[in-house]
Amino acid sequence: MQRSDGRAPDQIRPVNFNLNIAPHATGSVLVAMGNTRVICGVTLEEVVPRWMKDQSVGGGWLTAEYSMLPYSTTTRKQRDIAKGRLDGRSSEIQRLIGRSLRSVIDLEKLGPRTMWIDCDVLQADGGTRTAAITGASLAVSIACKKLLEEKKATSSPILKLIAAVSAGIVGGSALIDLNYEEDKAASVDFNLVATEDGEFVEIQGSGEEATFTQNQLDEMLTLGRSAIRQLIATQRSILDQSERNAAESNESGNQESRN
């Protein structure tokens, strides 16, 4: 099946991570999957939600918010605040982002604080929730590293990286990482979240006024796992590069102070 952007069925869109784009956030990433771009910012608050105190639950909490900027879509999308309520889709997506990241965070190690993940869609072209999770995983890693540097944690609260991708059935074929055109045409819509050791965190899938076979399900899972493996390999190399850069700039800073 010919895809609108010429990709093979198992080919994800070009992925890019731009780290530390929001200097006041503890960790931030601008993630791009093709034309979908999402800003993921992590901030820490030295408080825990009231229900945790009331129920004497130890450790910290992680929660997420998601929104699409008004100019992220081809026709202006009104801000939720202007409507006076969060729309159902945003609320479903932010809960998915929070759940996904909590699956790889040790809340005890996080300590008595709240980690906020704010995901704002800059440009929407399908797969904004999955791009948000993939970007948030990196932003949380950066924030956890800062916690360690500032000696607010003795070991990193993030246990593994995660990434997410969409899959679907378009014209009877399984495709990975759907763009908006494909998403509109899809008879089946899937979102997959998995960890770097290949375990699933969440699988959301539904036929949109359509059904799907076991074979198609297996195909979507296979494409999804392979795409997530690629995304996590990219995340890892970006994180390693950023650590090397930080080590080099530390070294040159030390040299300057010695001179």
Binding residues for ligand UDP, rule: CB under 6 A, are 73, 77, 89, 124-129, 166, 180, 183
Of 143, 126, 116, nearest to 61 by C-alpha is 116
Q: Quote the least distance from Cβ 157 to ligand UDP, whole Å.
A: 26
Closest to ligand UDP by CB, 53 or 79: 79
Q: Which residue's CB comes closest to ligand UDP? A: 128
- 74 Cβ contact partners less than 8 Å away, ≥ 6 residues apart: none
Q: Quote the least distance from Cβ 225 to ligand UDP, whole Å.
A: 19
Closest to ligand UDP by CB, 33 or 138: 33
Closest to ligand UDP by CB, 203 or 239: 203
Closest to ligand UDP by CB, 26 or 166: 166
Could you tell me which residues are beta bridge partners of residue 170?
173
Of 9, 2, 41, 18, nearest to 234 by C-alpha is 18
Q: Answer whether 196's CB lies under 8 Å from 232's CB.
A: yes
Q: Quote the least distance from Cβ 138 to ligand UDP, whole Å.
A: 18
Q: Answer whether 102's CB lies under 8 Å from 115's CB.
A: no
Q: Quote the least distance from Cβ 123 to ligand UDP, whole Å.
A: 9
Closest to ligand UDP by CB, 49 or 70: 70
Structure-block tokens of residue 82: 């202007």
Q: Answer whether 180's CB lies under 8 Å from 74's CB.
A: no
Q: Quote the least distance from Cβ 83 to ligand UDP, whole Å.
A: 12
Amino acid at 223: L
